[in-house]
């Protein structure tokens, strides 16, 4: 996803996971100019079972604080960029389901 035309993007992913637990790996890349003006971060997003709680972001490696998490009025995950005008975000989702 590329939240460059807006500061916040609604992912459409429900924040309440009910009988499933879910974790997402977030890979984030930004650039402000050519050369070495790039930043990157890898982090984990922890979703909660219920209760309308905003998912929690844990920084793993790289630059920090490139995004913030929130929730929409529809109880879906929103991601906001913090400063840079260009940002790319890739989410890798894990759903634990009864099999």
The pTM is what? 0.82
The domain spans of the chain are: 8-96
pLDDT tens digit sequence for 64-94: 889 999 999 999 999 998 877 778 889 998 8
> What's residue 99's pLDDT?
42
**CA atoms 51, 15, 96, 29: torsion sign:** negative
Question: pLDDT tens across 4-63, in order?
Answer: 556 888 999 999 876 677 889 999 998 777 778 788 999 999 998 888 999 999 999 999
Q: Which segments of 1-99 are extended strands (E)?
A: 8-14, 21-31, 38-46, 56-62, 67-71, 76-81, 86-96
Decide if 52 contacts 75 (C-beta within 8 A).
Answer: yes
């Amino acid at each position: 996803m590329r939240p460059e035309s807006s500061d916040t993007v609604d992912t459409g992913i429900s924040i309440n996971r009910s009988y499933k637990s879910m974790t997402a790996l977030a890979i984030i890349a930004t650039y402000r100019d050519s050369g070495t003006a790039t930043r990157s971060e890898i982090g984990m997003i922890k979703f909660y079972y219920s209760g309308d709680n905003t998912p929690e972001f844990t920084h793993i490696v790289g630059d920090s604080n490139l995004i913030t998490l929130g929730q929409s009025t529809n109880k879906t995950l929103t991601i906001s960029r913090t400063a840079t005008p260009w940002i790319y975000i890739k989410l890798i989702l894990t759903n634990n389901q009864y099999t």
